[in-house]
Structure formats: structure tokens, C-alpha cells
Amino acid sequence: MFDRRKKSVFQFDRKLNWLLIAIVMAVSPAWFGALQAGPIAVPNASFESPVTLSESVTIDSWQKTPKPDSWDENSSGAWTNLTGIFQNTPPGNSDHIDNCDGNQAAWLFADPGVGLFQDYDSMDSNDPSPTHAFDVKFEAGKSYQLAVGVIGGGYSMLPDVPLEASLYYRDPASNKVIVAATTITYSTAVFSNRTHLIDFEVNVPTVKAGDAWAGQHIGIQMLSTVDTNLMGGYWDLDNVRLSSVLAPALLSPVRTNGQFQFTLQSEPGYAFEILTATNLSLSLSNWTSLGTVTNVTGAIPFIDTSTDFNQRFYQARQLP
């Protein structure tokens, strides 16, 4: 659930015979309220593929980070063995994860540079070229949220071991450029047991048209950023969720035949009350209601047939 709110305000100035559009950012629990997110499908988000009866180092849809030069496979084993998937044990077992999504989850060792990522051009171990299955872009006007279930502390993990979850895009040279990230730090206060996943979030504020990531493909990454002095142990990961929210906005103002029209843009299916006032400084209780609309498709026009005013402001209030 997103907790960002917006107010979009139109000012109609009849004397000057022009329209001034003012987008006003505000935190106002009584105004738009908590905005609900629209889910975005992430391939193999719950690590259910391939099906394994115990564990496997093969993970469909997710690419493993490349082996660093410092990792000696002769002495330390195969780099690809540091990430994999496992089957959750049956209920009643002492190591059963009680909120595992599906039957499987993933592990990721807390060694420097170990990670899993997925984007438009990523590959898994079964595909010789990108499948482009995760084809989602950062869109202007939308905010984004990544959530992932995590358990820390495997194999006597030391306190303060970090794991970074991030959303990124690739630059023209194919380098990952992080847009937003959250560092998950192991402690027994946060991870009191090894049988319950805890959700952590990465939030990207509303994307602006001028942002470098606007229109770029979204990438998801879980990366061990631990130093060598704290390395060791492993994380369990599950239930990767990506969602977006289209910020409500009043767009495309037009005055025709003495009537004023604009378009309300929002996530589809939400209801709004359209309010108007001649003075922007008035308290909300003194604004006049022009009626309610349900934005079925995501963009709906609204016409005010009474615009015989020197100046008028418009706002849209999201209804419960």
C-alpha cells in the first residue's frame, strides 16, 4: 500500500482568458487518502520454477551475478552454488517457513557480490539469450514499490551483515544504474527466528518525464554487499512483488462554449468527488462539490457547465 498523496489543482482565470495548471504536492490524509497499488507480474517471483524435491542451484528467470576475480572456485567451490532454490519443509517441522509463498523459496549466501537480478535483457541458466519476459518500464506519473520476503541468520550469520534490494535500469553501456535501494541489515532483534519471512520494501517516488529512468526497463536485484570481515551465512528470499501507482492528476484543461472541461487521470476503478472554489485559501469544508465520478478506465473527462466566475479552482478528492 502506498502512502503518498497528491492534490491536483486547476485555476481557471476568466479575466485573463487563459488557464493556469498548478500541480500541488501535499501530504493530506483527508484528501486523496492511501493510494492502492496495481500489481506488476514478475516472472518466477516466488521461486517455484524449476520444481525441486529438495534444493537446486538452477533458478528460472533470474540471472546470477558474475563471479568476481577474487573468488577461487578451486578452494571455495562453484560460484553458482551460492544461490539456489529449496523446497519448504512440511508444516510441523521445526524449520518450516510458516508464510512461504507457494512451496519453494531461494537462498543467497552472504559473500561479497553474490546476487540475483532480473530485467528485460537478463538470462537464466537455461536460456542462451534473453527471453525478454520481464518487459516493464518506468512510466512518468507512476510511483513504484518492490517488496520481498526475507529471512536472515542462516549458518550463524554475524550481526550487521547487509543485503541490498534495489530497482534499477541499464544505461546505454548496459551498466546497472540504481534508482532506489533498501539495505536489509541482519540482527536478532529484526530476525528473531528462521521460520518467518519479513517483508522489506524499495520505493521509487513518482517518476518525472525528465528523470533518466523514465521510459527505461525496470530491473530488480538482491545483492550481498557484505565486506569480507563479515562474510558468511545465508539469506532466504521469497515472494518478490512489484507494484505501481498512477498519481491522480487533472489534465488537458479546455474551455469551449462557456464550459470548462478537464480529464481526471488515476488508477482505474477509483471514485472521486470533484470540488471547486473561487479562493484557493478556503478550507476544504468550504469548497463546493460538483459531483462524484468513478474513473473506470483510468482517464475520464469532467465538464463544469457553470463557469461564470472571474476565477475558479478545481480539486479531486479520492473517495473510500
pLDDT tens digits for range 200-210: 999 999 999 99
Domain closes at, from 245, 278, 309? 245
Indicate if 127 and 164 belong to the same structural domain: yes
Quote the number of domains for the chain: 2
For 265-287, the pLDDT digits (tens) are 888 888 999 988 888 888 888 99
Contact 149, 197 (CB under 8 A): yes
Residues 6 or more apart whose Cβ sits within 8 Å of residue 199: 147, 148, 149, 150
Residue span of the structural domain in which 181 resides: 39-245
212 or 8, higher pLDDT? 212
Within 13 Å and on the Cβ side, how many CA atoms surround 22?
A: 14
Instruction: Average the pLDDT over each of 27-41, 49-63, 230-244 and give the range with the smallest value.
Output: 27-41
Q: For residues 215-242, give the mean pLDDT.
A: 98
Domain-located, residue 1: no
In a domain, residue 212? The reply is yes
Question: What local confidence, expressed as pLDDT, does residue 74 receive?
Answer: 96
Cell representation of residue 95: 524449520
Residue 104 lies inside a defined structural domain of this protein: yes
Q: Please state the rounded mean pLDDT for residues 159-169.
A: 98
* Residue length of the chain: 320
Q: Are 268 and 315 in contact (CB under 8 A)?
A: no
* Confidence bin at 37 (pLDDT 50/70/90): low
Percent of the chain beyond pLDDT 90?
Answer: 70
Higher pLDDT, 93 or 13: 93
- Taking all residues of the chain, what is their mean pLDDT, rounded to a whole number? 88
Please report which confidence band the pLDDT of residue 307 belongs to, taking 50, 70 and 90 as the band edges.
low
For residue 279, what pLDDT is reported? 87
Same domain (yes/no): 102, 178: yes
